[in-house]
Structure formats: structure tokens, C-alpha cells
Amino acid sequence: MRRLLGVLAVTIAALAFGIVASRPAPPPAEVPPGGDLAAAARTIEALLDPTSGVDPIALLPADFSAVERVVPGRMRAPDGTMRAVHVDGGCSTPLGDENTRWDYSVGCKAHDLGYDLLRYAEKKGHPLPADLRRRLDDQLSRDMHKQCELNPQNSAGACRMVADIYTVGLVVNSWHQRWGPPRAEPISSWAVGLLVVVFLLAGRPPWSRFRRPAPGSPEEPPVDYMSMLRVVSMAGIVVGETVLAFTQASAFWLLQLAPLLFFAGGHANLVAWRSADGDYGSYLAIRIHALLRPVFAFVLAWLLIPLTLELLDAPENSIASVGSLVLEPLWVLGIFLITVAACPAMEWLYERFKAAVPVIFLAGSTAVHAAGSTDAYLLVSGVLLALGFGQLAFHWEDGPLRHVPRRLLAGTAVAALVGFVVLGYLPLLGIAQVSLACTVRRFEWVPVRAVAFLRSRPMTVYLVYVGIVLLFAGLTSSAGVDWFSLPRTWLAISMITAATLVAFLWYERRPRPVAELAGPISGVQTLACTLGVGYATLGVLGFAVTGVTWQVGAPALLGMALDPLANLIHLMLGGYLLHVVHSEKTGKIWPWLLTAAACVPPMLSTWSPFGTVVHGATIAVAIGVAGHVTVLRFRTKADVVSAR
């Protein structure tokens, strides 16, 4: 029963993500004055008031028929009004046009002409406001229900039920497209992609368990000062983004704690690498796997925030602002995943060049940032910045930074902070943060229990925080306390509450032990680990670039076109492959076949030359490994038979 409920929950979660993430950006709120766009808006206004006596055909933009390639005309509606219509239109259903035996055709054709005008405006470069599509849908609903009164065909009840079903379809489709221009959507590629997501989730089920550590070994690394710095810095980044979302106070620099996170995180990487005894594959599999859980919390929150704010009837600019509060954390986490993979190389540089390494990396970050401001430049600059501050953790762990006099560290912090205020140079702020952190020499005061709780339950804590933020957004809206009397308010609260309970009860109620590997990994395990780390990092950075809003013309990261579905598949594939390494299933066929299948939907929904090369190479490698594993299994069986 537990497994059945798990599969059902996985399917529902994948479908919910697909529905939300495939929504486009909202249309603008105003119509540009004058010109063809204003003429299109006036025509729709005339369509919405058929009793006004204004002929919408006379108001059509001059090039409307040429742009849309439709034939407008006039038809008499059953209520006696003359309607402007799309002559070849009709009541659209998934199975084709169906005007029904009650004949909704005139209302549907008038509605189609209104939709044609919405598409026309988009093609002319400026979509019309969302309110026009809402009113067109309302008009068609009224027309269909009016037809049930005028032409009931001895079944008025059935007519009203069909009209209600059509109305629900209208509202759902328009909501899904954010009441913007009607457009065809890549339904087939999204359906295939969501099916792959379901299989990836089912292949790494939440009810699965890894091998527990040997008796007496700790379930998690001990809480120390650096653990506290990681928790505090991540919390500061999240709170800082929230403050920015509500106040637009971009100068709120006290909570720009990414350099401190890279410093404390670099220490964790170094400790994990040195304890791995040179087994790079095992180090990556365990370290990256532990970091993916908070990533899923951010993605889940990004999925829920737009939905809940829309239910709270928040304006679109508020939805965009509050929804962006997970953008910076995802960028930081994506960059941090890269530093995890680079740790052995960073230790090699540290052992040979010591203090010169962080200076070179920070200077390189500054040079790249000054050279350009595209996502690629920002990514490279951020990675160099993270590696530079991660290098300082090597000096702290091995002692040099711990032995610097406190007064010198405090003076450095003050000078760096003044320099940051004057110049706005982020590495100076990071130097100030690290200098102050290194002045601490005694650690008995570290709140071990609180840090351990926050570290072991990141999804639950973050979703509770998101719920508090949304409550604040509602209470500070124009509705005020009356906001609690609205049914949609409680639906929004229940969505956040349900997600939090699932995160806590299913994943984090009993903190899980650190996954252990049977021994050093090699061969196909190393390959699976490498692919897992690469795709997980690509998924995290992809979400930071695209958000969870589908866009016409996919944005790109380092030349690879991305969209929310591709990001989710990349993230899920990375987590799944790391799970396969932990569960020692890399020697089976189906993980590699699923890996190959998972690379197909991103190639369909977001084609780009570089993306095709990456996914195509992964498919070829995965199929090759599956074939190799199959041959080995047949050989083993043949050897067993011959031995008999």
C-alpha cells in the first residue's frame, strides 16, 4: 500500500509540475496607445458588447486578415444580435470542433475571432491585457447558457451541464496560458518528458533506504563552527532575497553572504575529500547526493509560490518579485556543486602555491565580471569567486588563518568593508565576512542542537519559511485581515501546509543516516557518478536561469537551450544516477536504458546544437553500457550452464 501511495504521489507531483511549469509569462497590463494594437483592442471591446450597435468588422486593423489568414464575417445569433465571427471557426475540443446539438456555433465563432485578435496583437509585437481574454471567455459562457434557454432541445439540464464543462475547459486553458495570447503548446514533448520524470521518481522512491552505517559510527558529520556558518549564511541569503523582493532594497548588503557560504562550504568539501582517502568517485557520490535535498526544497517552493500568490489574487509584479526569492539560492547552490567537484584540484593547487591561489581566483573573478554581464560571464565569475573563498577554508583548516592575530583580522575586516561600501566590490565584502569569522577561536557556544535540526530538515524549514512569507504577503495586501475570509486564501495555505507535511513526514521526520558505499567505486560506477554530478549541476543552474515559467524561445546556459521541463529532467536524472551508485545497481540494464530515455525529451522541447551533442553523447554512452552489461550477463549465464 505504501508503494502504491508513493507511485500515486509521484505521478501527481510530476503532473502538477508540468501544468505549472509549462505556463508562459503573463501578458502586459496595458494596451499601447494608437495604431493596429489599439484597433485590435477596440474590436474586441465591440465583440464583447453585441448590443451596442457597433460593427466590429469595421474596426478590424487593415492587415488583420493578411496576418492571421482568417475570414471574418457576420452571423445572426439566436438572441437576435448580429455578431462578428471567424467564419471557419467553431467550438474547439480535444477531439475537434463540436458545436453540440444545441448549436453553440455562433458564440464559439465570435469567441474565435476574439482569440484571433489576441494572436494578431502578439504577432504585432505587444500582447493585449489578460482582462480581454477573461472577458471573451465569460462572453462565450454566457452565450452557451443563453442558448440552453433559447434552444433547449428538450434537455435544458444536459445543455447547461455541457455548457459548464466547456466553460471549465475555457478557464483551465486560459489560466494555464496566464490569460495571454492563445498559442499552440508542445504538449507531446511535455507528455513524454513528464512520463520520464515519473519513471525517474519511481526509480528513486522516497521509501527506499540506503545501507546504514556500521554500529557506533555517526549518522551525520558532527556539528561544528563551520556547520553553523553554512546554516547561517544560507539563511542570510534566503532572507536577503525576501527583503529584496518586498522592499526592492538592493543595497541590503548585510545579507549578501554567498562568500561566507563558499568559505564554510569549502571547508566541508575539504574534510569530506580528505576522509575519502583519494576515492574521488565515492567522495562525489556522497557529497553531491547530500546537497540535492535542499535543491528540491527550493524547486518545490518555486513551484508553489506562483500558484499560491495567484490564489491570493496578488498582482503579477508581486508574484514575479516574491517568486524570485529562490533565484539567488539556486545560483549559489549550482555554483557550489561545481566547487564540490573541483575540491581535489583545489587541494593540489593549495599544496603547491598556498596564498597565491585565492588571490588569483578572486582577481580572475573580477576580470571576468568586468568583461561581460551575460549568464555565461556571471557563471564563470561566480565559480571563480566561489573557488577563491573556498581556498581560504584550506588555510583555516590547516592553521594559518587561525593563527593570524585577531586585531589584524578585525582591521582587515573594517578596511574591506569600507572598500566594499565605496567601490561596491563583492569580494571585499567576502573578505570582511571571512576575516570576522576567523576571529572566533573558541567554539563551546555553538548551538549544536539548533544547527543539527536545521541541517537535517532543510526542506521542512524552508517550506515553513515560505508559508510565513506568503502569509505576510497576504496580510500586507489591500485585503488586509479580510484576506482570511476568502476561500482561495485557505486553499493557498493548505497547499503550502500539505507540501510541508509531506516533506517532514515522508522525508525528514526521522533524519536519515549518511549513505555509505561498500567500497571504492570504479568502472561504470564512476561513469554514473560523473553523469549524475554533471546533470544535477546543470539542472540547478538551469532553474536559476529559466525559473519555472515556460518561454517562447528557450533561454540558454553556455549554449544549451533550457526550459523548466529540461531542468527538472536534468536534476532528476542527476539524483537518480547518484542513487543508482549508492544502491549498487550500475551493473543492471534498466538504469542505463532509463538514462538514455531521459535525454530524449530535452532534445525535443529545447533543441540547440550543444544540447543535442551533450544529450546525444549521453544516449550513446548509456546504450553502450546497457549493451555491455547485457553481454556480460549472457556470458555469465553461459559459463554457469557450461560448468554444469
pLDDT above 70: residue 158: yes
pLDDT grade for 555, boundaries at 50, 70 and 90: low
Of 66-75, 120-129, 252-261, 282-291, minimum mean pLDDT range: 252-261
Residues 241 and 139 in one domain: no
Q: Which residues of 161-195 are buried (b: 16+ CB within 10 A; e: fewer)?
A: ebbeebbeebeeebeebbbbbbeebbeebbebbbe
Whole-number mean pLDDT of the chain? Answer: 80
Our CA dihedral for 473, 475, 480, 481, rounded to 10 degrees, sits at: 150
Domain containing residue 481:
225-508
Residues 368 and 485 in one domain: yes
Q: Do residue 434 and residue 534 come from a single domain?
A: no
Whether residue 503 is found in the same domain as residue 459: yes
Identify the residue whose cell numbers are 532553474: 543
Residue 383 confidence (pLDDT): 92
Q: Report the SS3 class of residue 75.
A: strand
Please check whether residue 10 lies inside any domain of the structure.
no
Q: How far is CA 488 from CA 175, 311, 321, 495, 535, in A?
A: 15, 5, 21, 11, 37
* Exposed/middle/buried for residue 230 (C-beta within 10 Å: 0-12, 13-18, 19+): buried
Residue 258 lies in a domain: yes
Other beta carbons within 10 Å of 364: 17
Q: What is the pLDDT of residues 452-503, one digit of tens each?
A: 888 878 778 877 887 787 777 666 665 556 666 666 677 777 777 777 776 6
Burial class (CB in 10 A: 0-12, 13-18, 19+), 30: exposed
User: DSSP secondary-structure letter at 277?
Assistant: T
Question: pLDDT tier at 327 (50, 70, 90 boundaries)?
Answer: low
**Are 423 and 543 within one domain?**
no
216 in a structural domain? no
Identify the pLDDT of residue 435. Answer: 94
Looking at the structure, tell me whether residues 555 and 453 fall in a common domain.
no
Q: Which helix (H) or strand (E) holds 82?
A: strand 82-86
| Beta-carbon contacts of residue 331 (< 8 Å; ≥ 6 apart) | 382, 541, 544
Domain total of the chain: 3
User: Which tens digits make up the pLDDT trace of 364-396?
Assistant: 998 998 888 777 788 888 899 999 999 999 999
Asked if 312 and 406 sit in the same domain, the reply is yes
Buried b (16+ CB within 10 A) or exposed e, 448-470: eeebbebbbbbbbbbbbbbbebb
54 and 137 share a domain? yes
Mark whether 543 and 443 lie in a shared domain. no
Burial class (CB in 10 A: 0-12, 13-18, 19+), 203: buried
Beta bridge partners of 323: none
